Structure 1
Amino acid sequence: MRHFEPDVLGTLPTRSNVVSGALPSRYRALRERSRLEWWIDGGGDPFYLLQEFLVTHGLPVRDLGRIGDKSVTPAVGEVCGAAVFVSAAAGARVAGAPVGRPSPAPAVPDLVAVVYEAADRPVPEAPAGKAGTTPWRPGRWEPSWTPAQHAEAVRQVREAIGRGDVYQVNVVGHGSAAYLGDPLPALHRLAGLPGARYAGVLTGAGWAIGCASPETLVEVAGGRVTTRPIKGTRPATATGRRELLASPKERAEHVMIVDLERNDLARVARTGSVRVDELYAIRRWCDLWQAESVVSAVPADGLGLADLLRAVCPGGSVTGAPKLSALERIAALEPVGRGASMGGLGWVGPDRIDLGLTIRTAAVDADRVHVWAGGGITWGSDPDAEVAEAAAKAAPLRAALGIG
């Protein structure tokens, strides 16, 4: 675990953009006050460390019933919230599941909390990257597995489903490219992709994360805890929309994850309060249609942030069901760790918590830019179609980054 004060950050910018579409406009002028960074080999419970770190800065995360009690515009110099990132590996570790292979971007922490105070004017963003003013230039795209290897992983999941080991597994692939120059403009282009509910860039010493996620991992606001799982993808055409609405395979896959999310929330909810507010709504992200549901509950009395994250991480839509069995299969099949992808990224403030699931997310370290993409595998999955779907999800990210 590392606990930084702002003046010790390194090569990438010393100011991180806050990653949450729900961030109130009155907080746009921010100054970093303090940060916490933790890696998977650091020991301890990352969610408890996060909770207690935020408590020391006055955020009411030991009792989420207090979130939203009041809406106060902080004075200059007062804490107004924190940008938070938690990795899928951290969630798997806390859940007691295998964390998978090492991250291909080990410089990126598995837990980050950046506490901000209100400022009277925006803090300039420092130059980033290896070469200061050198233009961004990514190299050749290098996938961590071939399409044939990806398809074979899908077949192995189908065999596991046939044996009754699992019902669904989300299989994620990865690719990367070397680069020259400043990565931040490219990451900001990525964050500007249409349809992103969680759009922004989070940075640290020698690393950065760019996010354009449409999916809510967990939100606490208005006295309810909400998650919005996304499952089911088609091209954003009239035909694609009709196919997604009519597909028994996609609907069954989606409903299975909605049930998983209902069970996850029930662990930390007031008895009888879990409900499905919306089921299988079709939304657009870039050139894709995706199916989304909304599941919510009233938090149990005294629920803290650590217990909430233990219940929902890693997100069910990027694991599968049953969650622990799916995580075991993921650790055995995926060629590299999930790194910055498939975790949570967003904002924790006195009046709301809003964390997106880090799908449609890229990470940069000192040498390479990394992208992950995948999809849920069921008995009805076609291996070649699943490989194509993952490529379609990665394509807008690669285009925004300028990677051919």
Structure 2
Amino acid sequence: MVHGRPPFDHPEEPLPGSPPGAPGGCQARHHALRVFRWHRGDPGDPAELVSGFLADNGLPVRNLGRTADKNRTIGDSTICGAALYVSADAGCVMAGAALGAPTPVPSIPDVYAVIYGHSSFSTRLSETGRSWRLGDWQPSWTPADHAAAVDTVRAAIGRGDVYVVNLVGHASATYHGDPLPALHRVAALPGARYGGVLTGDGWALGTASPETLVEVRDGRVVTRPIKGTRPATAAGRAALLGSAKERAEHIMIVDLERNDLARLPGTGPVRVDELFAVREWSGLWQAESVVSAPLDGDVGLADLLRAACPGGSVTGAPKLAALAEIAALEPVGRGVSMGAVGWIGHDHLDLGLTIRTVAADGHRLHAWAGGGITIDSDPGEEVAEAAAKAAPLRTALAAREPGTAVS
């Protein structure tokens, strides 16, 4: 339980800057109008409940191919759109999968949606960086524990229980000062397609996610799975392109994502638009594919969330079997990581996968990192890969320069 209030500026407002996935044309002028919250253990179907909340506020979530009324208002404010966050736990509930260990950040809802209007001005980060102090990171498992879990997954693959499983580790650190500037430094990391910060009552999350979980725009539904990582050097690029293990793992996840989209009612043939394209994220090469399908009929948000969550690139295949392995092996819940966060507008939806995502409660910062395990995985290399993914986040969080303007 979180005791007391953290030193956030405006803890109920998503300030400063824009929430993840928000249109750039909004120019960080978001003003929260209404909020939806659902926690693990609450009654009801979270996919249906959040869909009803968003539909009641004028967004076209019952038929994502339809354009909504952009002039819908609440009070004196015209509705801009909505931020939506879905935790990994909520994704498991939506998918009917096994739930793992409890989240280390229970103050953060498992589903959180905010209806926004526009204020008349953008906001700026406060100059609090000079008083910022971050303590030592405390991992939830040791490198030896992590390596042992890799071996356990490899044994499960050998038995034919699963083909690939994504294992994720957690670490936390105490802090002193306002965490919002630190979270905005995370959001500004290079390659952060969904860079942004979302806040609530006594908590905040910051994401530098480069990965599209699901996007609906111009009559198509798209997912962009990322799988495969190497240092962003010439040698690292060659190693990624030449790795049979990384390519096999990547193709298994692409096939899973194809199946997820094919399960949606109202979609046409699923196609792979791009396969194993190598892109850079904050000092790392990563392999990304693009999978899409046309919307030929009514597709609702609830069905989309059930099909896409939790994302295949952070679960494994088959998805439900992989999630059962994850629930048995990971000692700490995935919290805000490995879920979804993004934007629902009047004419599009764009949700990123919450990799490269950190959370702040009243006392600690929390971060997660991991990778996909196949039969050919080397335990030591998997531990090193997770550390490489976490390193840019920790560097950004530890910096002590004052906040800068957000445009």
* TM-score computed with the length of structure 2 as normaliser: 0.91
Aligned partner of residue 359 in structure 2, secondary structure: strand
CA contact (8 A) 1:18 1:347 kept: no
Q: Secondary structure at the match of 2:214?
A: strand
Pick one of 353, 362, 366 that aligns with 2:349.
Answer: 353
Alignment correspondent of 1:6: none
Local SS of the residue matching 1:251 = helix
1:228 counterpart letter in structure 2: R
* Worse overlay, 227-236 or 16-25: 16-25
Aligned match of 2:339:
343
Q: Residues 44 and 88 (structure 1 numbering): CA distance in 2 closer, same or farther, change over 3 Å? A: same
Encode CA deviations 1:68-100: one digit per residue, 9 max, x unaligned.
x78789997111100110001101112111110
**For residue 46 of structure 2, what is the aligned residue in structure 1?**
46
Instruction: Give 3-state SS (helix, strand or coil) of 1:64's partner.
Output: coil
1:325-381 C-alpha deviation (Å, 9 max, x unpaired): 000000000010000000000100111100000000000011110000000000010
Taking a change above 3 Å as real, the CA distance of residues 124 and 401 of structure 1, as seen in their structure-2 partners, is closer
More divergent stretch after superposition (293-302 vs 100-109) = 293-302
Aligned residues: 391
Are the equivalent residues in 2 in contact too, given 1:10–1:205 (CA < 8 A)?
no
Report how far residue 21 of structure 1 moved: 4.6
Worse-superposed segment, 103-112 or 27-36: 27-36
| Root-mean-square deviation (Å) | 2.3
Residue 157 (structure 2) pairs with residue 164 (structure 1)? no
1:110 maps to 2:110: yes
Which of 162, 182, 189 is 1:186 aligned to?
A: 182
Partner of 2:405: none
Given the superposition, is the C-alpha separation of residues 13 and 123 from structure 1 closer, same or farther in structure 2, using an over 3 Å criterion? Answer: farther
Cα 1:403–1:31, aligned 2, differ >3 Å: closer, same or farther? Answer: closer
| Counterpart code for 1:178 | T
Counterpart mapping for 1:38-187 below 5 A:
38-67=38-67, 77-122=77-122, 135-187=131-183
Deviation (angstroms), 1:123: 5.8
Shift, 1:302, TM fit: 1.7
CA contact (8 A) 2:11 2:201 kept: yes
Equivalent in the alignment of 1:287: 283
**Alpha-carbon distance in structure 2 between the residues aligned to 1:26 and 1:370:** 29
Q: Aligned partners of 2:54 and 2:265: how far apart in 1?
A: 22
| C-alpha displacement of 1:18 | 3.5
Report the counterpart of residue 3 of structure 1 in structure 2.
none
User: 240, 244, 257: which is aligned to 2:240?
Assistant: 244
Q: Residue 232 of structure 1 is aligned with which of 228, 235, 258?
A: 228
Amino acid at match of 1:89: D
Gaps of 5+ in 1: 1-8
C-alpha separation in 1, matches of 2:280 and 2:96 = 35
C-alpha displacement of 1:277 = 0.5
- Quick one: distance in 2 between partners of 1:286 and 1:315? 22
Query: Structure 1 residues 133 and 157 mapped into 2: Cα distance closer, same or farther (>3 Å)?
Result: closer
Aligned partners of 1:32 and 1:220: how far apart in 2?
A: 23
Of 358-367 and 293-302, the range deviating more from structure 2: 293-302
Instruction: Tell me which amino acid in the other structure corresponds to 2:299.
Output: L
Paired with 2:124 and 2:396, the residues of 1 have a C-alpha distance of 24
Contact (CA 8 Å) 1:134, 1:182: kept in 2 or not? Answer: no
CA contact (8 A) 1:231 1:254 kept: yes
* Partner SS for 2:204: strand
Q: Does 1:15 align with 2:11?
A: no
- The answer (yes or no) to whether the contact 1:202–1:208 under 8 Å persists in 2 is yes
- The one-letter amino acid paired with 1:84 is L
SS of equivalent to 2:190: coil
Counterpart Cα distance in 1 of 2:314 and 2:217: 24
Q: Which moved more, 1:19-28 or 1:203-212?
A: 19-28
In the alignment, the residues of structure 1 paired with residue 312 and residue 196 of structure 2 have an alpha-carbon distance, to the nearest angstrom, of 23
1:162-213 Cα offsets, whole Å, 9 max, x none, are: 0000000000000000111100010000111001100010001111000000
1:127-150 CA deviation, whole Å, 9 max, x = no partner?
A: 79xxx8982211111000000000
CA contact (8 A) 2:147 2:382 kept: yes
Sequence identity percentage: 61
| 8 Å contact kept, 2:222–2:291 | yes
- Counterparts of 1:372-391 in structure 2 under 5 Å? 372-391=368-387
